Amino acid sequence: MTPEKQLRAELQRINGKGYKAYKDIKGNYRFPHYQLFLDHIQGDPFATPSRARVRVDRQASGLGPEITQNRSRRIAACDFLTRRFFACCRKFSKGRRGTGKGGLIAIDGPGQEILERTSMVITDAFVEARFRIGLPAHGRKIAGSEAEAMFFEELPRIVSHSIFHENLDSDALYRHIKTAEDTDTARSQLTGRGLIAFVSDGSLLPRRSGIDPRPMPEKDAIAFKSPAAYRVSLELPNAGRVSGMGIPAGVTLIVGGGYHGKSTLLSAIELGIYNHVPGDGRELAITVENTQKIRACDGRSIEKTDISPFINNLPFQKETAEFSTENASGSTSQAANISEAVEAGAEVILLDEDTSATNFMIRDHRMQQLVKKAQEPITPFIDKVRQLYADKNISTVLVMGGSGDYFAMADHTIQMTEYQPHDVTAAARAIAMETGTDRWEEGGRHFGAIRSRTPLPESFNPYKGHNKLKIAGRGLNEIQFGNESIDISDLEQLVDNSQTTAIAHAIYYATKYMNGSLSLKALVERVIDDIHRDGLDALTPYITGESARFRALDLAGAINRMRSLKIRQSQ
């Protein structure tokens, strides 16, 4: 470990030289209260800033063993410190200096969710923050004095105020970890209670806007209150007994007038797979992990997916048990999305009629009379939703405001009125029995088989141009994999750019298990098992602070959307 004074001397020596001379400072340095690792030095002031780490002795940090005594607490503590480091970068860094991205000191910036990340690592021996630092320049000449200020004035202040317990808000830290611990405990109780989701009384579900995930100001929001019929209580280690609405397994409809909160409730259920920060309002709006939001996605690529439970007898004898297309319609894309979710291990399906293909969801009696089943390849979801639960044990939560035909299919019907839920199950059943329906069931007696699929190794090429490895997340909606841009915009449960970055690397990592015989589900499970054992660091050959945890369903969904994907289907 090189003394800090050597870094200062090197910066003075290379001051004014060409930018590439910054390569000379790569290495590890011993500062009075921490170690500094300069792992990768950028080659140009306009390039992605350099990768760096600071490591503090755990005992010296003052962070006691109680904050990492279980997995929930450890993840939450890392999340809290990441947020603190992020805030201190903004407070103590003077920002851009000189050319390009010089002067930048930045760490992964979390949102409303508490995610397992690589940005902060806490072990029994040390606490490590991983961040980016933009080495400053004037033109393409090294600005050594500005770099000195960053390393010897700004960074020490950031580290001191973000990692050492004496400078932290202890109450906020413990509130953060206890909130996450309670949420994980509550989620672990759902299946045993026959539930797929839970929303606590007092939750504030509305968001500020469709592009701002922060909670609506409390003065403008209506606190959630469970109807008596669905009220359950959970015992939590920190909050004690908490009551709220439990959504049972089965088929659940969410109904109500426009702008009364149907989609708001579904969105909370959709994102209940994550823990949320204190003050978010959805801290105890939780859902079982293997919950998949489904929507239509016109134009997506589908490769040998069995959509025969929903679509069959296409014109010109086009195969639907091994359906492939480069330009799916709304109905075929939604059918494929459900089939692929079933194949990947989903336990709950979420749908909103607003983002669904109408002809996939319902075919009323009048249309059945005009267009006979022999001429209609689509079996609508209404005729499969009960079979999905009966045959596959997969529950469905469905927002439906336009078709009462679903009343007869539902185990539970919840009506949202002015953002408050009401149990209208009995009324919906009575209407279904009194008015009946003349439509004919078209789904047969069983849901049907979903055959597993095996990805072929030759369809995965991460190289672009002259054998240059190109793997990257591009925001929430796109992954760059070699020459291919993977559109994942319909995977709506991804919430953080670092998740897409991690998925991009996970696709490449998965290729080491591809032997032409391992199913997609088994392949994805191996990757997830490795992450459970070795952490997200397993996905990259170098240390990075820009990956966040994703689910097996997310990785399978991204692979299924590759236009280069080639599949061999099991028989």
Structural domain boundaries of the chain?
2-168, 195-450, 453-569
CA distance 108 to 499: 11
* Distance, CA of 3 to chain centre: 41
Dist. CA 338–CA 560, nearest whole Å: 12
pTM of the entire predicted model: 0.96
CA distances from 270 to 87, 137, 538 (A): 29, 46, 28
- Do the strands 285-287 and 120-122 form a parallel or antiparallel pair, or are they unpaired? unpaired
**Structure confidence at residue 571 (pLDDT):** 66
As a three-state string, the secondary structure of 128-142 is EEEEEECCCEECCEE
DSSP string over 388-399: HHHHH--EEEEE
200: number of Cβ within 10 Å: 23
Amino acid identity, position 11: L
Please name the CATH architecture into which domain 195-450 falls. 3-Layer(aba) Sandwich (3.40)
319-357 tens-digit pLDDT: 899 999 999 999 999 999 999 999 999 999 999 999 999
C-alpha to C-alpha distances, 558 to 20, 139, 274, 279, 326, nearest whole angstrom = 37, 40, 19, 32, 15
Report pLDDT digits (tens) over 192-237: 999 999 999 999 999 999 889 999 998 888 999 999 999 999 999 9
Q: What is the Cα–Cα distance from 216 to 481, expressed in whole angstroms?
A: 37
Alpha helices of 164-208 — where are they, by DSSP H? 170-190
pLDDT in tens, 103-159: 999 999 999 999 999 999 999 999 999 999 999 999 999 999 999 999 999 999 999
Q: Which residue has the tokens 């397993």?
A: 538
- Alpha-carbon gap, residue 140 to 36, rounded angstroms: 25
Q: What is the pLDDT along the chain (571 residues), one digit of tens a residue?
A: 899 999 999 999 999 999 999 999 999 999 999 999 999 999 999 999 999 999 999 999 999 999 999 999 999 999 999 999 999 999 999 988 999 999 999 999 999 999 999 999 999 999 999 999 999 999 999 999 999 999 999 999 999 999 999 999 999 999 999 999 999 999 999 999 999 999 999 999 999 998 899 999 988 889 999 999 999 999 999 999 999 999 999 999 999 999 899 999 999 999 999 999 999 999 999 999 999 999 999 999 999 999 999 999 887 778 899 999 999 999 999 999 999 999 999 999 999 999 999 999 999 888 989 999 888 999 999 999 999 999 999 999 999 988 899 999 999 999 999 999 999 999 999 999 988 778 889 988 999 989 899 999 999 999 987 788 999 999 999 999 999 999 999 999 999 999 999 999 999 999 999 988 999 999 999 999 999 999 999 999 999 999 999 999 999 999 999 999 999 998 6
